[in-house]
């Protein structure tokens, strides 16, 4: 039987009362395999697609093993045609980003230390690991069209990359969570409460995404830099984001962690898909998925 992959599964599918975007964001590969099995995929077909032994696929689906390693998650994303950022994977693998040599072909699939019999990781754990400040607002110097795209792109990342958004009582952060509530209806999101005090918005986050903004956002940008928080400015959104991009452009030390190609993308990205792709990859690096 020929395997069929419907790309709409990853955004619209569900298993039980759980939507697939949340399953992928939590990296719940066991539920993902069960979803495919319910749609007529044999365990052998799944194993073939993701380059894992049939017995190992059954163990993962039964909840006896959990997929932990980046390399196996990459094989799953590639084999099942799942967009990388849906599983919280960067644009490039860590070994590609650092220039390290690839492992000998076939060894990862044979040894499989990366598929471990450990307790399942929770969505809450992922959220804490990826707490992100979203700073910005609309104003006379910002581009509303790009901000609209950023809200959609960042909302998608909330569902696919396990983001916990830190934001003020007003602004783009509130818009992002409102978009998530309206379009994805995740359980548990019944209201939005902003953080008071600009230093608190950027405290304890892996990165600060800057979208548009005025004087308040400029203050948050400066506070983030002083605290050593990586900045991810959407330059085309204008306002404080454009200023933040210019700061990174002038001082390469502030963006030493960021690949030049991604920095170039931040200059021009203005559509939701592009914003999701570049920001998702950079957040993976910030959270320890790349170096």
Residue 128, pLDDT score: 38
Q: Among 226, 222, 229, which residue's Cα sits nearest to residue 204? A: 229
pLDDT classification of 121: cutoffs 50, 70, 90: very low
Give the Cα separation of 39 and 46 in Å (integer).
11
- The model's pLDDT over 58-111, given as tens digits with 9 standing for 90+, comes to 999 998 888 877 788 888 999 999 988 788 765 444 444 333 333 322 223 323
Give, for 200, the enclosing helix (H) or strand (E).
helix 198-201
Residue 90, pLDDT score: 57
Give the Cα separation of 146 and 281 in Å (integer).
19
Q: pLDDT > 90: what percent of the chain?
A: 44
Residue 134, pLDDT score: 94
Left if phi > 0, otherwise alpha if psi is -120 to 50, otherwise beta: which for 6? beta
User: Beta 115-116 vs 66-67: how paired, if at all?
Assistant: antiparallel
User: Beta 131-137 vs 115-116: how paired, if at all?
Assistant: unpaired
**Does 186 have pLDDT greater than 70?**
no
**Does 289 have pLDDT greater than 60?**
no
User: Beta 207-212 vs 164-166: how paired, if at all?
Assistant: unpaired
**Does 55 have pLDDT greater than 80?**
yes
Query: Cα Rg for the chain, rounded, in angstroms?
Result: 19
Average pLDDT estimate for 115-136: 52
Give, for 133, the enclosing helix (H) or strand (E).
strand 131-137
Give, for 45, the enclosing helix (H) or strand (E).
helix 43-50
Residue 66: helix, strand or coil by DSSP? strand
Give, for 60, the enclosing helix (H) or strand (E).
helix 54-61
Q: What angle do CA 130, 26, 128 make, to 5 degrees?
A: 25
pLDDT classification of 191: cutoffs 50, 70, 90: low
Q: Are 16 and 34 in contact (CB under 8 A)?
A: no
- The model's pLDDT over 12-27, given as tens digits with 9 standing for 90+, comes to 889 988 888 888 888 8
Residue 290, pLDDT score: 47
Q: Are 159 and 125 in contact (CB under 8 A)?
A: no
Cα-flanking dihedrals φ and ψ of residue 66, to 5°? -125, 140
Tokens of 63: 């909840």
Residue 183, pLDDT score: 73
Q: Are 98 and 259 in contact (CB under 8 A)?
A: no
- The model's pLDDT over 159-182, given as tens digits with 9 standing for 90+, comes to 777 678 888 888 999 899 888 877
Give the Cα separation of 186 and 19 in Å (integer).
8
Residue 23, pLDDT score: 87
Mean pLDDT for all residues in the chain: 80
Residue 81, pLDDT score: 92
Q: Which residue has the higher pLDDT, 3 or 201?
A: 201
Residue 68, pLDDT score: 75
């Amino acid at each position: 039987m020929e395997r069929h992959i419907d790309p709409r599964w990853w955004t619209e599918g569900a298993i039980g009362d759980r939507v697939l975007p949340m399953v992928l964001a939590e990296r719940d590969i066991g539920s993902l395999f069960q979803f495919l099995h319910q749609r007529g995929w044999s365990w052998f077909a799944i194993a073939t697609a993701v380059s894992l032994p049939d017995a190992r696929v059954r163990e993962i689906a039964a909840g006896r093993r959990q997929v932990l390693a980046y390399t196996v998650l990459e094989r799953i994303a590639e084999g099942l045609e799942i967009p990388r950022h849906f599983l919280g994977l960067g644009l490039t693998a860590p070994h590609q980003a650092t220039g390290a040599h690839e492992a000998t072909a076939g060894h990862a699939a044979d040894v499989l230390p990366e598929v471990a019999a450990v307790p399942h990781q929770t969505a809450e754990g992922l959220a804490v690991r990826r707490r992100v400040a979203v700073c910005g607002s609309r104003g006379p110097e910002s581009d509303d069209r790009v901000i609209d795209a950023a809200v959609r792109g960042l909302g998608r990342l909330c569902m696919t990359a396990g983001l916990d958004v830190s934001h003020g009582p007003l602004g783009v952060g509130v818009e992002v969570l409102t978009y998530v509530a309206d379009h994805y209806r995740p359980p548990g999101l019944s209201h939005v409460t902003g953080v008071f005090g600009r230093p608190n918005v950027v405290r304890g986050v892996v990165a600060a995404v800057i979208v548009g903004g005025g004087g308040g956002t400029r203050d948050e940008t400066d506070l983030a830099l002083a605290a050593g928080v990586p900045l991810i400015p959407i330059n085309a959104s204008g306002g404080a984001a454009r200023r933040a991009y210019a700061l990174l452009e002038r001082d390469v030390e502030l963006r030493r962690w960021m690949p030049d190609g991604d920095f170039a993308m931040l200059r021009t990205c203005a559509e939701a898909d592009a914003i999701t792709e570049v920001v998702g990859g950079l957040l993976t690096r910030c959270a320890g998925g790349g170096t």
